[in-house]
Amino acid sequence: MSITLGMPTIPIRGTTVTSGQPQASDRPAVPGLLDRFGRTATDLRISLTDKCNLRCTYCMPAEGLPFLAGPKLLTREEIARLARIAVRELGVRQIRFTGGEPLLRKDLVEIIEDCAALEPRPEISLTTNAIGLKSRAEALAAAGLDRVNVSLDSICAETFATITRRPFLNRVLEGIDELRTVGLERTKINAVLMPGINDDQGVELLEWALAGGHQLRFIEQMPLDADHSWTRDGMITAAQIREKLEVRYVLTPDEAPRDGAPAELYQVREKSDPTGEVLGMVGIIASVTENFCDDCRRTRITAEGGVRSCLFSEGETDLLALLRGGATDEEIADLWRAAMWAKPSGHGINASGFEQPARSMSAIGG
C-alpha cells in the first residue's frame, strides 16, 4: 500500500491510508499538522523503546512481549531530525518522550540535549515508571528536561507489586523525591484504578500527592492491554473516580481553559471546609466515558518511526523508510502532514464494532 505526494512512492505500514480515505491533495496548503476536523497537532509524543522493566497487568503479559531489535529502533540522530522537522516545519511546541520505559535508552540525556537546542525551543517532558530515575535525574535536568510524568498506581508496596509484578516501589518513590532535589518540581503522577485491586486507594494516593506538591491524574483504563482482556464493565469510570474522591474531598472544576489537555482538572478542598483553602489540583483523564477527541492536539511517533494519528489507530505511516532512504526534510514533513490529515474524528471506543488495536500501549508509546 502506498501514497504519492509529488515524490517517490512511499510505503505505508498498516491501514493508515486506504482507498476511499482522505487524500493528501485535499489538504489545505498550511504548514502545520492539520486534520479534516480543524484540529492542529502541536504536541508530539516520541516513543524511544518498546522495552519496559515492569509487567503491569493492564499493559503487558507476565512473560513480557517480543521486543524490537536495536536496528529497527530510531537512532538518536533520527530522533533529533524528526524533532527538528516537527518544531521548525510543522509547528510542534511540546515534545514528550515515552516508551516502553524511556529510561532504558542509554542515550536519553543526549536525545534531550538535542531537542533542548532546537529553535524555537519546545517544552520537553518525559513519561516514566521512575525506576532508575534517581541516578539519572540530575543529568536529565541539566540536559534540558522541563517536566516528568510518573506512572504510579499505588503507594502500597503489596498493591504495587501485584499490579507491576515487580517489588520496586521504593525505587519509584526515591526517583520522584530526587526530581525536586534537581529542580524538576512540576511532577505529574499518572494512576489507573482497577476494581478489586486499588480502587479503594484513590483517596490515599491523592492525599500523598497533595502532601508532596504533585498533580495526580487518574486515567480511565483503556483497551490497550497486550492480553486484550479489557472490558467496559471491568474499568473504573471517571464518574466513579470522582465519587470515590468526594468521600474525603470537595472537587470543584477548574475554570482555566483546558487548551487541548487530556486531563479535566479539579480544585481540591477538604470536605470539612468546602470553601476553604485549595489544597491542590487533581486531574481525571476520561478517555473512554468522557472523551476529548474533538480537541485532540497530539501526534505520535513509535519507536520504529511510525506516525500514529490516534492512539487507537490500526495502522502507522512509515517515516523510518524516508529517514533511511535519502528523503528531504520537506518530503518527510509532507508525508507526516498527510498522515495527520487522515486522522479520524475520534477513537471510536463507544461505537458498535470497535476493535481494540493489535498493538499494546508499550508497543505504541503513550
Could you report the per-residue pLDDT of 128-178, keeping only the tens digit for each? 999 999 999 999 999 999 999 999 999 999 999 999 999 999 999 999 999
DSSP helix/strand/coil, 289: coil
**Whether the Cβ atoms of residue 111 and residue 342 lie closer than 8 Å to each other:** no
Could you report the per-residue pLDDT of 285-342, keeping only the tens digit for each? 998 888 888 999 999 999 999 999 988 787 899 999 999 999 999 999 999 999 999 9
Q: Which three cell numbers stand for residue 35?
A: 486534520
Measure the N-to-C terminal CA separation of the chain; round to a whole number of Å: 26
Residue 15 has pLDDT above 50, yes or no: no
Determine the average pLDDT of the residues in 250-270: 95
Pairing between strand 123-128 and 94-98? parallel
Mean pLDDT of the chain: 89
Phi, psi of 117 (to 5 degrees): -85, -5
- Predicted TM-score (pTM) of this structure: 0.89
Percentage of the chain lying above the pLDDT 70 cut: 86
pLDDT band of 354, cuts 50, 70, 90: low
| 30 Cβ neighbours under 8 A, 6+ residues apart | none
pLDDT of residue 363: 65
Could you report the per-residue pLDDT of 81-129, keeping only the tens digit for each? 999 999 999 999 999 999 999 999 999 999 999 999 999 999 999 999 9
Phi, psi of 178 (to 5 degrees): -65, -30
